[in-house]
Structure 1
Amino acid sequence: MSVLAIDQGTSGTKAIVVDDAGVFRAVVEVPVRPVYLEGGGVEQDPAGLLASVLEAGRRACAAAGLPIDAVALANQGETVLAWNPRTGQPLSQAIVWQDNRSAGICADLSAHAALIARRTGLVLDPYFSAPKMTWLRRNVTREGVVTTTDAWLVHHLTGEFVSDVTTASRSLVLDLDTTRWDPELLGIFGLEGERLPRLVACDEIVGSTTAFGPEVPVVGLIVDQQAALLAEACLEPGMAKCTYGTGAFLLASTGVDAVRSTTGLTTSVAWSMRGATEYCIDGQVLTAGSAIRWLQDLGIIDDPAALDALAAPDSGGVMFTPALAGLAAPWWRSDARAAFVGMSLSTGAPHLIRAVIEGIAAQVAALVAVIAQDTGAPIARLRVDGGLTNSRALMQAQADLLQAPVDVYPSAHATALGA
């Protein structure tokens, strides 16, 4: 059985074809770019996201030179948009998970924060889907439906209106224990009466598509970080991985126990398969790869591939807090801003590059420390994946700060493989 697995991410869409022997027959990546707006806005063109899925998938199928038997899709998670369910046309831009313009909505709902945390396992923060959905309804349109991008993409592929439970568990309106939409939480966010997607398991066939050739089933819907957790075989409670992409995301499996964090982390559905639901606990660094791209946009580096060569051997006392889109777990300060400290007249661009590398590693190390408190077991080895794992400087800084081995996943395609 050959599968076309698609990973629709913030910085690009990757499509791979895997044959029945587990061999990669084709890998295609199509870049996409968010637009960063004043006031904390981060948006993407929905048409561009869909076009990237179709282009990457079709090119991968053509390159593979063999028929595919199924399509799987991993998605960004908390990115939302409004759209017309009859025509499929977008009614808004896609509001990316990094967007924090709904911070005021979260502040207004702070009296409900404890209830929301108990019910959903999440923290009331603009990072998650529901505040952005409310923001869209108040500021952009009351028409159509408002959903995460996976529901919109799957609708274009199959005509169905569905979302998987892992993605829904990142919304702030899913009851984590029943894995059903919660009417009380929907009311808190002013989303009562909204038409929401039917929830499906990760291994459920949700429809079929002819978007990539002859008609094949679409199966294997999952949010991106959980897909990587599955691909890296973090199946037992306490096993953890960190994906270094646009952000850095640390997840540890908790098995069938939906542990509620006491340290400021969040809990979500890891996957729902074969009739069973398992969970994970996670922490987030909102800007990792996007911090490197920021250095590139400023002209400090020409190419992310040259990161290690351009970094100084040490930071010269300079420290960097990678809060370019605020701070997530365990601090949850969407109003926080990035900062370099410790600079002097002798500070040069190589020191700033090194400080950014070390700042990303330091935030991940902080997450590893608190996740061990919630799971009750230290992380003895950290499995890692994502584009930034190509930086030996970052991986060494991570191992040094953790004082533990860092195992780089042998494939650059963990998320797509997990789907």
Structure 2
Amino acid sequence: MKKYILAIDQGTTSTRAIIFDHESNIIAMASDEITQIYPKPGWVEHNPNQIWVSVLAVMARVLLEAKIKANQIHAIGITNQRETTVVWDRKTGQPIYNAIVWQSRQTSTICESLKDQGYDQLFRDKTGLLIDAYFSGTKIKWILDNVKGAREKANKNELMFGTIDSWIIYKLTGSVHVTDYTNASRTLLYNIKDLKWDKELCDILTIPMSMLPQVKSSSEVYGHTLAYHFFGEVVPISGIAGDQQAALFGQTCFEKGTVKNTYGTGCFMLMNTGDQPVMSKSGLLTTIAWGIDNKITYALEGSVFVGGSSVQWLRDGIKLIESAAETEGLALKLKSNEGVYIVPAFVGLGTPYWDSDARGAIFGLTRGTGIEHITRATLESICYQSMDVLRAMENDTNLPIHSFKVDGGATINNFLMQFQSDILNLEVERPVIQETTALGAAYLAGLATGYWKSKDEIKSSWKLEKLFSPKMPEDVRRKNIKGWEIAIKATRQFKNND
């Protein structure tokens, strides 16, 4: 009987289930949307029970779609939106509040208070993270402080905390309370050097450590499905990784100095830095890439706030285009940007500038500037911003870049990928399988159960769809980069022009 791996990819806007075979091919896929809840401006929440029901729904649908039986699933891997926080009752298994989503800013005042007390460097040294509402720690504190009776229950060991991976595994198994290194490293509570929950940080945030899940490796059997949740079958759950780390693993970035960049609404870039954490001087986050076989691999992470969403702005904001698919053809009508630059700082600038007050700008307009110039400059801005993140990584690590792999919806644009290769002066590798996040979770699950024997075997099944090699003359590349640097500088100066 042929066996497969099931990956559950629980994201911000949807829950997806994908079945992979041994050659990393997608056999079937099912998806369910998640309702976004906005109780106040800047707050984003999900209903944890809706997330759980969506997991059950997509598992059922994907098996029907694939026309395979539940007993053909060899193992299950889970990848998830990171940082999103669920607190539930230990006795009833019911959440005491909505899941607070990673994007939610409702704990900003807690973060400001921690910074005012001078805790920034302490958290940075222990967790590799900045004090920010993005991460789980302040979200747990907010729930304990704001939900009636929560603090008392927590102190009596009656509450459990988990990121979404923990919540799904708890529900699937009925009792197991675990997470993995990658998700723990995004909580602001986990010491990434000592590899344990940090009592000092928990005390600062007034979070009882009894709430926290056991931290396991990213690839081992954590528990098994309850038969009544998985069509009568007891199947091992054996892989966990947060979404960006799962994508790094799915792209087989196993060596030090290998990089993946995900081009979505924004861009997320991760670099494998090997067995030692690199503490960034450039505003990058230090995080755990994965932990397998008692070995920890670390990563640096940087983000571009506005990537593909700048193309959405062209379409929906200023209505220059009708679809994202038009952008490639428009950009290719020109041999260069003819001096036009766009800095899409619609919500500030991310790595390495961390300038939340900057706002978007267009430079170099002439009477001859048309839709093609604006479109091309918008696509180029995604590449320049990614270049800035990669430069920061190179400066922090002094590592040569061994490979640059790409995934995400925007990578379908060949102009974008070629310009990225040109401006980085690096080969850019686009894989056949774009679902690298789910694939990473599948690989981690299959490694633990012997479905794949080694990382080398996994690497041999990774398939390249297209290789983009740099073609731009060096003098042109330097001139283009200089123009971008001037545009960034001018953008950042303009904000102070009150």
Question: Normalization by structure 2: what TM-score?
Answer: 0.75
Decide which moves more: 38-47 or 271-280: 38-47
Partner of 1:198: 214
CA deviation profile, 1:160-179 (whole Å, cap 9, x unmatched): 21111110001111010122
Match of 2:167 among 139, 152, 156: 152
Q: Distance in 2 between matches of 1:309 and 1:191?
A: 54
Partner of 1:17: 19
Is residue 392 from structure 1 mapped to residue 430 from structure 2 by the alignment? Answer: no
Is residue 340 from structure 1 mapped to residue 340 from structure 2 by the alignment? Answer: no
Is residue 244 from structure 1 mapped to residue 259 from structure 2 by the alignment? Answer: no
Matches within 5 A, 1:5-404: 5-32=7-34, 34=36, 39-66=41-68, 67-110=72-115, 111-140=118-147, 143=150, 144-159=159-174, 160-193=176-209, 195-209=211-225, 210=227, 211-213=229-231, 214-292=233-311, 298=317, 300=319, 303-308=323-328, 314=337, 317-324=340-347, 327-333=349-355, 335-336=356-357, 338-342=359-363, 353-379=375-401, 381-404=403-426
Partner of 2:5: 3
Partner of 1:413: 435
Asked whether the equivalents of residues 386 and 412 of structure 1 are also in contact (C-alpha less than 8 Å), the reply is yes
What secondary structure does 2:301 align onto?
strand
CA deviation profile, 1:348-400 (whole Å, cap 9, x unmatched): 77665545433332221111001011221243641111222122243233223
Identity of aligned residues (%): 36
Letter in 2 for 1:253: N
Asked whether the equivalents of residues 24 and 439 of structure 2 are also in contact (C-alpha less than 8 Å), the reply is no
Q: Distance in 2 between matches of 1:134 and 1:116?
A: 15
Letter in 2 for 1:226: Q
- CA radius of gyration, larger in: 2
Q: Distance in 1 between matches of 2:208 and 2:440?
A: 33
CA deviation profile, 1:63-110 (whole Å, cap 9, x unmatched): 222321211100111122333343333333332222233233222212
CA offset at residue 260 of structure 1? 1.5
Asked whether the equivalents of residues 91 and 141 of structure 1 are also in contact (C-alpha less than 8 Å), the reply is no
What secondary structure does 2:73 align onto?
coil
Decide which moves more: 60-69 or 250-259: 60-69
Structure number with the higher helix fraction is 2
Letter in 1 for 2:163: T
Segments of structure 1 that go 5 or more residues without pairing to the other structure are none
CA deviation profile, 1:95-152 (whole Å, cap 9, x unmatched): 2222233233222212111111111112222222212333333345553444322211
Asked whether the equivalents of residues 11 and 246 of structure 1 are also in contact (C-alpha less than 8 Å), the reply is no
Q: Distance in 1 between matches of 2:312 and 2:89?
A: 33
What secondary structure does 1:329 align onto?
coil
Alignment length (residue pairs): 417
What secondary structure does 2:280 align onto?
coil
What secondary structure does 2:119 align onto?
helix
Q: Distance in 2 between matches of 1:49 and 1:295?
A: 33
